[in-house]
Amino acid sequence: MNKYIYTRWLFIVLLATASCKKPDFEAQQQAQAAGTISDYLTNNFDFSLFAAAVRKAGLMDSLNQATATLTVMAPTNTALNKDSIYNASDFDKWPADSLRYFVRTHILPIKLFYNTIPLSSDNRYDNLNNTRLYISRSKDISAALTVNGVNVQKQPSLGTTTGATYGITQLNGVIYPLPNTIKVVPVTVQAFLLARPQFSHLVAGLRKFGYWDQLATDGPFTLYAPMDSSFERRGITLDSISRIDVNRIDPVVFGGYFLKPNHLFVLDMLQLPPPAGTIYLAFQCPDVKYKLIMTQQPFGSGVGIVTAASTATRILVLVGPNASKPYGEQGTLFLGETSNTIFMTTLNGIYTNYTCTNGVVHLLSDLLVMPDKVSR
């Protein structure tokens, strides 16, 4: 009898201990891994271009060490095609340092499992370049996991024992497939614009209205950047910018292109939902008379500048080139987007952002503000 009672109590104690123990997600996923990250990239055609970049950068051996602890944000071939990379030989045109920096941008020196990422926006992790990546996890299935504003591709469930929906586990870490490359540049927003001649009109306008020097400071900034062709298409030249009378035009004409202090990716909308009954988020522009709006609905179709006063009413007053168009087309699309009625969480085209040392730069397909709509 005593032996029976002892055995019974021992069973109860073991059962209670097992029920209180948290699941070891790493052990569960690790048990299903058979090879290294190097093996996986090399043997999967979808990653053949990134594998070529890793090899040319001299990092394949590092990804082949079974005892390493790594997380690789791996762009698919389609992602690299968007950056005009179609063959492994295309990487031969890159300087060795640039290629190595590009590959190391996509690698974290830790094992980061989906289940262990906090449910919040912009969780910060340093990559092999010691620059910061921003990883967001949301309950919204349309953007449950993003890195620097790029949606991570969902994986089929690995079984009821893991419940994993994101990440491919290998012996030495985790691989997350990306539909776009991560673009991190080790310069300020100001230096980013200055190094690219296609933004000369935006630079000229920012200088004209006294905003330029700010973009070299700590920030953080979120900058929406139309190229010179957008200005020229609207009849705005470098000469006409130089002749603007700053006393007759509100400074939002160029101050509307950046926010401070903000570090916004498009899909942050899912972590920063609009108030109940509102379909957009409004952010204060440097010119207090105006606000920049981002929306998850077809209304706006990207971003737009509106009068601050109108955000307290039911009708937004936009000051951009599309303000007179029908509902669903009033905003400015991101560069590469082809439909005026997309949801911002879908982003059908080749939406691109660049993470700088003091902020984020988004590329736009058109202007946000027209001078004649903000005259005093």
Residue 324, pLDDT score = 78
Residue 71, pLDDT score = 98
Residue 373, pLDDT score = 96
| SS3 letters across the chain | CHHHHHHHHHHHHHHHHHHHCCCCHHHHHHCCCCCCHHHHHHHCHHHHHHHHHHHHCCCCCHHHCCCCCEEEEEECHHHHHCCCCCCHHHHHHCCHHHHHHHHHHCEECCCCCHHHCCCCCCEEEECCCCCEEEEEECCCHHHCEEECCEECCCCCCCCCCCCCCCCEEECCEEEEEECCCCCECCCCHHHHHHCCHHHHHHHHHHHHCCCHHHHHCCCCEEEEEECHHHHHHCCCCHHHHHCCCCCCECCHHHHCCEECCCCCCHHHHHCCCCCCCCCEEEEECCCCCEEEEEECCCCCCCEEEEEHHHHHCCCCCECCCCCCCCCCCCCECECCCCCCCCCCCCCCCCCCEEEECCEEEEEECCCCCCHHHCEC
Return d(Cα 87, Cα 91) in angstroms, integer.
8
Residue 80, pLDDT score = 97
Residue 348, pLDDT score = 58
Return d(Cα 216, Cα 23) in angstroms, integer.
46
Residue 228, pLDDT score = 98
pLDDT tens, position by position, 341-360? 555 556 656 678 999 999 99
Tens digit of each residue's pLDDT, the chain (376 residues):
444 444 444 444 444 444 444 344 444 445 456 799 999 999 999 999 999 999 999 999 999 999 999 999 999 999 999 999 999 999 999 999 999 999 999 999 999 999 999 998 899 999 999 999 999 998 877 778 999 989 899 886 555 444 447 999 999 999 999 999 999 999 999 999 999 999 999 999 999 999 999 999 998 999 999 999 999 999 999 999 999 999 999 999 999 999 999 889 887 776 776 666 667 788 999 999 999 988 655 444 578 899 999 999 888 899 999 877 765 667 788 887 765 555 555 665 667 899 999 999 999 999 999 999 999 9
Residue 345, pLDDT score = 55
The model's pTM is: 0.85
Residue 56, pLDDT score = 98
User: Could you give the domains of the chain?
Assistant: 20-178 (2.30.180.10), 189-373 (2.30.180.10)
